Structure 1
Amino acid sequence: MTVFGLHNSHEQVHPSELLAAVQKAEAAGFGAAMCSDHFSPWSARQGQSAFAWSWLGAALQATSLPFGIVNAPGQRYHPAIIAQAIGTLAAMYPGRFWAALGTGEASNEHITGDGWPRKDVRAARLRECVDVIRALLAGEEVSHDGLVTVDRARLWTRPDEPVRLVGAAVSVETAGWAGAWADGLITVNQPVEHLRRMIDAYRAAGGRGDLCLQVHLSWAPTDEEALAVAHEQWRSNVFAPPVCWDLETAGHFDVVSEHVTPEQVAGTVHVGADLGRHAEILHGYAELGFDQIYLHHVGQRQDEFIDAFGAKVLPQLR
């Protein structure tokens, strides 16, 4: 049975408000949660970007939900530090934490001052990081010399159970590549046929574990308000790779999105006041085979969305 969870967007909402939101979501019937891991928002209009790992400790303590995070080890984060962060949370909250690993975006990673590598180099670097993180979580002492360097690292606090390391992908090619190493796959809402090809590529490459989907949506009491919220908050997020990977600052995203129309935003965000229609869309994703679906209301006000979906949408999906 598909689990429906809440996506917590640190780029958009203050961490204290997000903590209250995820507690409210658990009470409303959401069965899981995940969060973003950004240093920078996608737009000055979004206006936040708290440190996700600090927040996760509070959120795991404040709820009984399982949690995940999408992380990009290799540049902003050394993989040994990410292994330690994963190991600590998983040791404190057994069976409740997973991490999805991806190649990242320049908007977060450029802060180190290092050059932003080509996509193929980033993929190779991520693969090294995955092996380092797995070995550390398994209790090995790790030294590694490659695109990342590790010198005699060992985790002294580790979970008793293995932690799922999920592959983050938006393309069919990357989904197939992740099938060789990942314990699951996570992606974002895209055309149904594209998602089907991603699933097939992942499974054909030996990919195991749950299929997870983050769904961008905008709900409000009227269609007009839902569209206005989506356009105000999410118009900087309509650009396909490599643009979304390679722009470096919120200011860059705001400049290139100046002429994005509400209709263009509605091509990437499910927009509308009709809760029945939202339920139909989410049910369709579940029928594709997604085991976990995380709802991301792209507005900054979360309470009304959680109340409405908890009362009217989640019961239909059960």
Structure 2
Amino acid sequence: MTRFGYTLMTEQSGPRELVSYAVAAEQAGFDFEVSSDHYSPWLTEQGHSPYAWSVLGAVAQATTRVDLATYVTCPSIRYHPAVVAQKAATMQLLSEGRFILGLGAGENLNEHVVGEGWPMVDARHDMLEEAVMIIRELHTGDLVTWQGEYFRVDSGRIWDLPDEGVPIGIAVSGAKSIARFAPLSDHMITTEPDGDLVSSWRDAANAGDGARVIGQVPICWAPNREDGVALAHEQFRWFAGGWKVNADLPTPAGFSAATNFVRPDDVAESIACGPDLDELAESVRPFMDAGFTDIALVQVGDRYQEQFLTEVAEPLLERLRSL
């Protein structure tokens, strides 16, 4: 059965609000929660970007049932993989085994801030592969010294390590990345409802029954469709660029310029907007049909977030689970 999750969208809400939304989402019946891990919002209008790992630590203490995950963390530029290994182990302990470490090759928007530049995509994938290997080594609990092409670890050990380890999901986008990262991952993360991609990953990973295929779908519930479309355009027009564009733009100003000619109707073509719960649920169906086991919803914008969680989420989940 498909599991449905809630996205803690750090780009559009402050840290205290995110924790309260996490609690409300658990109470509404969501199965899991994922958090973005950003240094900057996509657009200035979103206006937020608290530190995801502090938020997740608080959420782990404020919730009891939902699984938690990063969606996704780049472990290679802004963070050193040894630090990611440590904080992922800590999150697994705090959440009592509810955490999945979601990893990806990152976006310029978040990684350029540390002044290390923005490598070409092949180099980013090389770095991600090496980072995952380091994290896996450190999660054995052994003393690790590593001298690689991109990273060094000097006598590193994770002292507080969960017995069950930390499952890793890796974001993939095509055959090349599947061949490379499926053998290194426990779970698949991807943005497109492509059944062939899912099948290819399962074959390459030799994935067992417990392996998850995790996706994300933005929706914009609002009291009327006009408000929903306007809010989605204001907050989420960056989505229209696609990941090849989104990975390389460096600043919210760049995203604003790149989406200057994106119209509200353009956004509404890719994001279900308004009060029709059947329409919102149907927008998720392609991911279900493609074989995704876990689908996280993004309720776009902070404006209606509380109302969405207290009034809309429960009946929407009922519709989704009946599909």
Q: How high is the TM-score relative to the length of structure 2?
A: 0.92
1:138 is aligned, of 137, 140, 146, to 140
Determine the C-alpha separation between the residues in 2 that align with 1:213 and 1:284: 11
* 1:114-193 → structure 2 map (5 Å cutoff): 114-145=116-147, 146-188=149-191, 190=192, 192=193
CA contact (8 A) 1:172 1:197 kept: no
1:82 is aligned, of 70, 81, 84, to 84
Instruction: Write out per-residue CA displacement over residues 108-166 of structure 1, whole angstroms, 9 at most, x where no aligned residue.
Output: 11111112111011001100000100110111222222211211111111011021110
Q: Percent identity?
A: 38
- For 1:38, the equivalent position in structure 2 comes to 38
Q: Give how far 1:207 is off.
A: 5.1
CA contact (8 A) 1:168 1:187 kept: yes
Instruction: Write out per-residue CA displacement over residues 49-95 of structure 1, whole angstroms, 9 at most, x where no aligned residue.
Output: 00000111100100112100010011100000000001111123222
Assess, with a 3 A threshold, how the Cα gap between structure 1 residues 6 and 74 changes in structure 2: closer, same or farther: same
- For 2:266, the equivalent position in structure 1 comes to 264
Q: Give how far 1:215 is off.
A: 0.8
Determine the C-alpha separation between the residues in 2 that align with 1:179 and 1:311: 34
Instruction: Write out per-residue CA displacement over residues 211-262 of structure 1, whole angstroms, 9 at most, x where no aligned residue.
Output: 1111111111211111111001011232124321111111111111111111
Determine the C-alpha separation between the residues in 1 that align with 2:245 and 2:251: 12
Provide the secondary structure at the position in 2 that maps to 1:25.
Answer: helix
Determine the C-alpha separation between the residues in 2 that align with 1:56 and 1:90: 11
Deviates more, 1:156-165 or 1:136-145: 136-145
Determine the C-alpha separation between the residues in 2 that align with 1:42 and 1:207: 36
* 1:164-243 → structure 2 map (5 Å cutoff): 164-188=167-191, 190=192, 192=193, 195-206=194-205, 208=207, 209-243=211-245
Determine the C-alpha separation between the residues in 2 that align with 1:294 and 1:29: 13
Deviates more, 1:219-228 or 1:198-207: 198-207
CA contact (8 A) 1:173 1:201 kept: no
AA at the equivalent of 1:158: L
- For 2:69, the equivalent position in structure 1 comes to 68
Provide the secondary structure at the position in 1 that maps to 2:79.
Answer: coil
Deviates more, 1:269-278 or 1:98-107: 269-278
Q: Give how far 1:283 is off.
A: 4.2
Determine the C-alpha separation between the residues in 1 that align with 2:190 and 2:311: 25
Determine the C-alpha separation between the residues in 2 that align with 1:244 and 1:285: 21
- For 1:309, the equivalent position in structure 2 comes to 312
Give me the CA root mean square deviation: 1.6
Determine the C-alpha separation between the residues in 1 that align with 2:106 and 2:100: 17
Determine the C-alpha separation between the residues in 1 that align with 2:127 and 2:263: 37
Deviates more, 1:162-171 or 1:110-119: 162-171
CA contact (8 A) 2:57 2:94 kept: no
Q: Give the number of equivalent residue pairs.
A: 314
Structure 1: tracts of 5 or more residues without a match:
none
AA at the equivalent of 2:69: G
- For 1:113, the equivalent position in structure 2 comes to 115
- For 1:255, the equivalent position in structure 2 comes to 257
Deviates more, 1:41-50 or 1:199-208: 199-208
CA contact (8 A) 1:223 1:272 kept: yes
Determine the C-alpha separation between the residues in 2 that align with 1:115 and 1:81: 20
